[in-house]
Structure formats: structure tokens, C-alpha cells
């Protein structure tokens, strides 16, 4: 199956016009088994028979497969996956210790991992009775509390240093409770608690991983909603709507965040409609302002290629240090039908208000954008 899939990929790459040296480089890369579990996604960028970018993401691919050859790289698939790479903490705790991992969504290996080993001289809380049972219960409880205090120190430190989107907490019920009580407010506010003792012998982590996926989706949705709300603030004073307005803002390096509808990305690369906001092509330039509308020229910049709307906007955004956000179009339920609608025009959150004095203007073909 792997060989058949590899063969299809290489044929599609050759059909796209890639030279044999590039195809050979990708063939070798595909044959390097990374050990990542399916599903996983790869992004490969080759130049003159040499791989210059090779990134792998755990989890399913977002968007269609892309095989392309041209003067400029296809950036949107890479940005689409990188945009989901939130950092989070996974804490698996028990009465005798804990494992704390800093992970990044889409990455197979943890960024860092720390273990806390507690004292082992505590007796089980349930004893056979006798005059000393309450004393041993108190003794055990104090040791468990001390252990979770050490775990809390690790979690609080990593929260300050790494700023995770959330903290997934699993493990023994009592240990989780003791840990919650000792976390700093900043850490406690990020907790996503999972009712599963993953440190028990023979326990699996399916419930924990499912909770992490749900937390990731929720964090991404909240982050995107907050950014969209910011673009609407103060009557949209810092918002550019539609392709023409966004291009003008990108030419000024005025865009802080660019928003692209996932359906716009999937739109045909050619065949622009009369509507200025319809999916079409834009001109990629080799110098500032990096992007131009069809027919627009600049004395200091030459044309590199014509690109699909989403790719051209994303390239100009990256070159002007703007963040690219993909507005995904996922059904609310796994078996729900996908809503039938047209792709929404691009929009942007601006660094400063349009027409504000004191900012450069770019002249092109008699047009001026402020």
C-alpha cells in the first residue's frame, strides 16, 4: 500500500512539471520511514534536486493533497498545519509521582518531559484497623500532598515559561484533587481534567488523547473567534474587507493578521470572475510591495509569477510579518452535512487605521494606497 501511494504521488508530481532531480529527491524522502503512526501529513519543498523544507505533522491532512512545480513554493498547506501547532501540557499524576510533558499539536515527540518521584514510605489509606490507622492515614496524606506540591511547582514553572494553551490533567482521583488545590491560579485556569487514571498498570490513554483533541479544537476556535472579534472592534476601524482592500493593506505592510476562508483555498487557481473579491489570481513581485493586482506595475519590483488569490495573499503576509489564519469549515458533528455556501472573501486585522497620517504610501500605476 505504501509503495502504491508513493508511486501515485511521484506520478502526480511529474505531471505537475517537476524535473527528474526533484522527483528523485522526493522519492528518497518518502522512502525514509519516520515511524509516525497514521494518519500523518508531510510537507516537502525541493529546489534544484535538494530538499529545503521537510516537515511532518501528526494527524490527518487539512485540505486536499497538493503537487506543484513552479517559481514559488505553495505556502498555504504548510501555514494551515502550522497554524494548529498550539503548545499544551499533559500531566499524568498519581499518589507516588507524576509525569509532565510539554507537547505541541501535530508533533510526534514531546518538546520536554519531566518526572516527579514522591516518597514511597506512605501506607495505603485503607488499612485493616487498629489504634494506629488514623495516624498512618494522616502520614500518607501528608506525603501525597507533598508530592503534589512538587508536581505543582513543575507545572507552574512550565506554564510561565511555555504559555500553554491548556493543561490536560489525568491520573489518580485523589492525586488530581491534591494537585488542583496547589496550582497557581494561572495554571488552574488552564486545566482540562480527564477522568482516567492513565498511570495505573495496564491503563490506556485513549480518553486522555480524545480530551486533548477536543481541547485543541476548542482552543483554536476561541483564539480565532477572539481575533475576528478584534477585527470588528470600534466599528471595524482596523479591518480591511475583500481582496482589493487586503491587497492594498499588504502593500503597506499594514496587515497584522490575514484571514482566509478554507473554501477560498480550495477554489480554482484560475478563471477569476468579474467580481474583485472572487477567487482569481494576483501578481507576486520580487521586491516590496511583494504583491500587485492584475495590470498593476511598480518601478522597483518585477513580476515573479501569477498566483492563486489565497497563495498570493499568504506569501505577501509572510513577507511582511503578518500572521495567516485559516478559517476552517468543519461540520459541527462527524456525520453532519457540509454547509453549501460560497467562499467568503479574505479580510485582515490591520496594524493601524487606514488613512492614518505618518505612514508610507506605495505608488503603483497611478494608484495610491494609504
Give the model's pLDDT for residue 160. 97
Query: Going from the N-terminus, what domains does the chain have, and what CATH number goes with each?
Result: 2-70 (no CATH), 87-219 (3.30.420.60), 237-369 (3.30.1330)
> Which three three-digit cell numbers place residue 222?
476561541
Q: Are 151 and 94 in contact (CB under 8 A)?
A: no
Q: Tell me: the pLDDT tens digits for 324-355?
A: 999 987 655 556 666 778 889 999 999 999 77
Q: Please, is 340 exposed, middle or buried when counting C-beta atoms within 10 Å of its C-beta (0-12, 13-18, 19+)?
A: exposed
> Which three three-digit cell numbers place residue 55?
516537515
pLDDT at 317 over 60: yes
User: Measured at the alpha carbon of residue 229, what is the angle toward residues 226 and 231, in degrees to the nearest 5?
Assistant: 115
For residue 358, how many other CB atoms are within 10 A of its CB?
A: 5
Q: Tell me: the pLDDT tens digits for 63-93?
A: 889 999 999 999 999 999 999 999 999 999 9
Backbone angles phi, psi at 283, to 5 degrees: -100, 125
Distance CA 188, CA 90 (A): 13
Backbone angles phi, psi at 304, to 5 degrees: -95, -45
pLDDT at 311 over 60: yes
Q: Tell me: the pLDDT tens digits for 271-301?
A: 333 334 445 899 999 999 999 998 898 998 9
Amino acid at each position: 500500500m505504501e509503495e502504491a501511494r508513493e508511486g501515485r504521488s511521484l506520478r502526480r508530481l511529474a505531471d505537475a512539471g517537476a524535473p527528474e532531480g526533484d522527483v528523485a529527491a522526493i522519492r528518497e524522502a518518502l522512502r525514509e520511514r519516520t515511524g509516525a503512526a497514521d494518519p500523518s501529513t508531510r510537507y516537502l519543498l525541493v529546489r534544484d534536486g535538494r530538499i529545503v523544507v521537510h516537515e511532518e505533522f501528526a494527524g490527518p491532512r487539512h485540505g486536499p493533497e497538493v503537487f506543484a512545480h513552479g517559481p514559488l513554493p505553495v505556502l498555504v498547506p504548510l501555514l494551515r498545519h502550522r497554524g494548529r501547532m498550539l503548545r499544551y501540557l499533559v500531566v499524568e499524576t498519581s499518589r507516588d509521582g507524576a509525569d509532565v510533558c510539554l507537547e505541541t499539536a501535530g508533533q510526534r515527540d514531546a518538546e520536554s518531559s519531566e518526572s516527579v518521584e514522591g516518597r514511597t514510605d506512605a501506607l495505603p489509606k485503607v488499612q485493616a484497623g487498629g489504634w494506629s490507622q488514623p495516624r498512618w492515614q494522616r502520614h500518607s496524606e501528608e506525603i501525597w500532598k507533598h508530592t503534589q506540591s512538587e508536581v505543582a511547582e513543575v507545572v507552574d514553572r512550565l506554564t510561565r515559561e511555555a504559555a500553554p494553551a491548556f493543561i490536560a490533567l489525568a491520573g489518580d482521583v485523589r492525586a488530581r484533587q491534591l494537585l488542583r488545590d496547589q496550582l497557581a491560579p494561572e495554571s488552574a485556569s488552564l486545566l482540562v481534567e480527564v477522568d482516567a487514571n492513565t498511570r495505573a498498570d495496564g491503563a490506556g490513554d485513549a480518553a486522555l488523547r480524545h480530551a486533548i483533541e477536543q481541547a485543541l479544537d476548542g482552543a483554536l476556535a476561541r483564539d480565532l473567534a477572539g481575533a475576528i472579534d478584534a477585527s470588528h472592534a470600534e466599528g471595524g476601524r482596523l479591518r480591511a474587507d475583500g481582496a482589493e482592500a487586503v491587497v492594498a493593506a499588504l502593500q503597506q505592510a499594514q496587515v497584522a493578521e490575514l484571514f482566509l476562508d478554507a473554501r477560498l483555498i480550495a477554489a480554482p487557481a484560475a478563471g477569476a470572475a468579474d467580481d474583485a473579491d472572487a477567487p482569481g489570481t494576483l501578481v507576486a513581485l520580487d521586491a516590496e510591495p511583494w504583491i500587485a493586482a492584475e495590470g498593476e506595475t511598480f518601478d522597483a519590483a518585477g513580476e515573479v509569477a501569477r498566483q492563486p488569490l489565497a497563495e498570493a495573499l499568504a506569501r505577501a503576509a509572510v513577507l511582511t510579518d503578518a500572521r495567516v489564519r485559516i478559517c476552517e469549515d468543519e461540520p459541527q458533528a462527524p456525520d453532519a452535512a457540509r454547509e453549501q455556501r460560497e467562499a467568503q472573501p479574505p479580510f485582515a486585522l490591520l496594524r493601524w487605521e487606514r488613512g492614518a497620517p505618518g505612514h508610507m504610501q506605495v505608488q503603483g500605476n497611478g494608484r495610491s494606497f494609504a
